[in-house]
Amino acid sequence: MGLFVLTYVLLLAFPKVRAHIALVSAGIFVLLATPRFSAYFGLDWSIPAMLGNIDWNVILMIAGTMGTVYLFIESRMPALLADLLIEKTPNVKWAIISLALFASIVSAFIDNVATVLMVAPVAIDISKKLKMSPVPSIIAISISSNLQGAATLVGDTTSILLGAYANLDFMDFFVYRGKPGLFWVVQAGAVVSTLVLLYVFRREKQRISTKKRTRVTDYFPTFLLVGTIALLILASFVPEKPAITNGLICMGLFIVGLLRDYSKTGSFDIIKDAFREIDYFTIALLTGLFVVIGGIKEAGVVDAIGQFLANISGGNVFVVYTLIVWSAVLLSAFIDNIPYVATMLPVTAGLAQILNVDPTLLYFGLLTGATLGGNLTPIGASANITGLGILRREGHEVRAWDFMKISIPFTLSAVTTGYLLVWLLWS
């Protein structure tokens, strides 16, 4: 327990070396699993068991999806889609709303940071033409890209973690056990939060004109991305498939894209650039956390946390559910939601067993709170930090309050909608 608490404190205190901390802590847990130390401390651990906690399906899905998304961005297809969207909008208000919705939809299938990097330049271009501040539109795009992270299996790392832990396939996010899945919960939150954005930007009525439409010459990366989604859907209908099926699909199509580009150019540059774009920091962080969380689970710490939450709630399921959702919102506003979700998934499973309820209620509540909670503050999500970094390069320093004037009503409306809907569907 002491090692886990120390690890988590260090993760919070030193975010820039978070991956290193997780890997060092994982190394200590593996060391404790050696025969000499496990016998000394009375632990029933082994090195293969500790290393077996690493979920390679998750690792391969993240790496493969990130690589394919890079190829997709390089094809300039996202820029073309944004141009087509802007052509249909009459004024600034609807341009901002359209870009925010576009970012929201795209981020259900593509990494949130990549989505911001794709869509933000369009908003910057519009603001320069109209000599207006790009700050509100970039904030809207950033927080909207976070919204859809829980909508699909590949929408966010936290969704991939839930899918692996609860054995959910791509289609389970749409329909699960005959009921609407998380996708529809997120869409309900998106509708309500879009109404908030419409109110926030109600005075932005300047007319806009579009620049020359982006030209796309390579459609193969688009087929790769669509193919990845299609194969994940098909795989969801295959019973008793290998545990790393989804990871192999994502990584396999990424490799197909690399081989195709190499055959066209004869250069390794695109391969080096694509592998450089994979977020190895997140992969290393998750690898370490899988080992650490497996260790504390074996030590009974996870069960103890679950029992504590059950006790303070008096065994009331609604109180437990409320605690899980809103504590996730609050904590994710200040800390990375990836280690938080990775830690809390086994806790919610233990809680569900103690309370004798369907764990789906707590799983979906956790993901709703943790995914959307990061929108509350400028530092709560990587997409927010990326958006503000783009604004800083354009000469715009954004105060926390200026960000939160938009993010707080947006986030609270989306979370409250999801919180109520998940309870009504799964309680």
**pLDDT class of 420 with cuts at 50, 70, 90:** very high
Write out pLDDT tens, residues 71-85: 887 887 777 777 777
Q: What pLDDT sits at residue 363?
A: 93
Please give the C-alpha separations between residue 393 and each of 120, 332, 381, 385, in angstroms, as whole numbers.
Answer: 12, 26, 19, 12
pLDDT over threshold 70, residue 42: no
Which parts of 88-181 fold into alpha helices (H)?
92-106, 112-130, 135-147, 157-166
- What six digits make up the tokens of 88? 């249909």
* Residue written as token pair 């496990």: 38
Q: What pLDDT sits at residue 130?
A: 66
- Taken in order 8, 368, 386, 168, the sign of the CA dihedral is positive
In a 3-state reduction of DSSP, which class is residue 91? Answer: strand
**pLDDT class of 244 with cuts at 50, 70, 90:** confident
Strand-pairing partners, residue 176, are 179
Q: What pLDDT sits at residue 343?
A: 80
Please give the C-alpha separations between residue 106 and each of 69, 147, 205, 317, in angstroms, as whole numbers.
Answer: 11, 11, 26, 35
Which parts of 238-316 fold into alpha helices (H)?
245-265, 269-276, 280-298, 301-312
pLDDT over threshold 90, residue 365: yes
- Taken in order 146, 149, 151, 154, the sign of the CA dihedral is positive
Query: What is the percent of the chain where pLDDT is above 90?
Result: 14
Query: CA 50, CA 291: separation in Å to the nearest integer?
Result: 6
Q: What pLDDT sits at residue 71?
A: 86
Q: What are phi and psi of 175, to 5 degrees?
A: -135, 125
**pLDDT class of 91 with cuts at 50, 70, 90:** confident
Cα three-residue angle 123-218-150, rounded to 5 degrees: 55
Say if CB 426 and CB 184 are below 8 A apart: no
Contact partners, residue 26, CB within 8 Å, separation at least 6? 287, 288, 289, 290, 291, 292
Q: What pLDDT sits at residue 375?
A: 81
* Residue written as token pair 């749409």: 174
Query: CA 246, CA 235: separation in Å to the nearest integer?
Result: 7
- Which residue in 377, 383, 406, 378 sits closest to 204, CA to CA? 406
Strand-pairing partners, residue 207, are 91
In a 3-state reduction of DSSP, which class is residue 175? Answer: strand
**pLDDT class of 12 with cuts at 50, 70, 90:** low
Buried b (16+ CB within 10 A) or exposed e, 110-144: bbbbbbbbbbbebbbbbbeebeeebbbbbbbbbbb
Residues comprising the chain, all counted: 427
Q: What pLDDT sits at residue 335?
A: 66
Say if CB 147 and CB 103 are below 8 A apart: no
Which parts of 211-244 fold into alpha helices (H)?
220-235
Query: What is the percent of the chain where pLDDT is above 70?
Result: 93
Q: What integer is the mean pLDDT of 245-249?
A: 86
pLDDT over threshold 70, residue 97: yes
Strand-pairing partners, residue 179, are 176
Instruction: Name the average pLDDT for the chain.
Output: 82
**pLDDT class of 53 with cuts at 50, 70, 90:** confident
Query: CA 78, CA 72: separation in Å to the nearest integer?
Result: 8
Q: What integer is the mean pLDDT of 324-333?
A: 85
pLDDT over threshold 70, residue 149: yes
Query: CA 331, CA 351: separation in Å to the nearest integer?
Result: 19
pLDDT over threshold 80, residue 121: no
Higher-pLDDT residue of 101, 89? 101
Say if CB 110 and CB 211 are below 8 A apart: no
Buried b (16+ CB within 10 A) or exposed e, 51-80: bebbbebbbbbbbbbbbbbbbbbbbbbbbe
**pLDDT class of 256 with cuts at 50, 70, 90:** very high
DSSP 176: E
Query: CA 197, CA 34: separation in Å to the nearest integer?
Result: 55
Q: What integer is the mean pLDDT of 262-281?
A: 82
Q: Kindly report the number of other CB atoms within 10 A of residue 153's CB atom.
A: 28
**pLDDT class of 25 with cuts at 50, 70, 90:** confident
pLDDT over threshold 80, residue 368: yes
pLDDT over threshold 90, residue 115: no
Q: What pLDDT sits at residue 210?
A: 61
Higher-pLDDT residue of 266, 409? 409
Q: Kindly report the number of other CB atoms within 10 A of residue 36's CB atom.
A: 9
Q: pTM of the entire structure?
A: 0.74
Higher-pLDDT residue of 114, 141? 141
**pLDDT class of 5 with cuts at 50, 70, 90:** confident
**pLDDT class of 188 with cuts at 50, 70, 90:** very high
Q: What integer is the mean pLDDT of 30-54?
A: 75
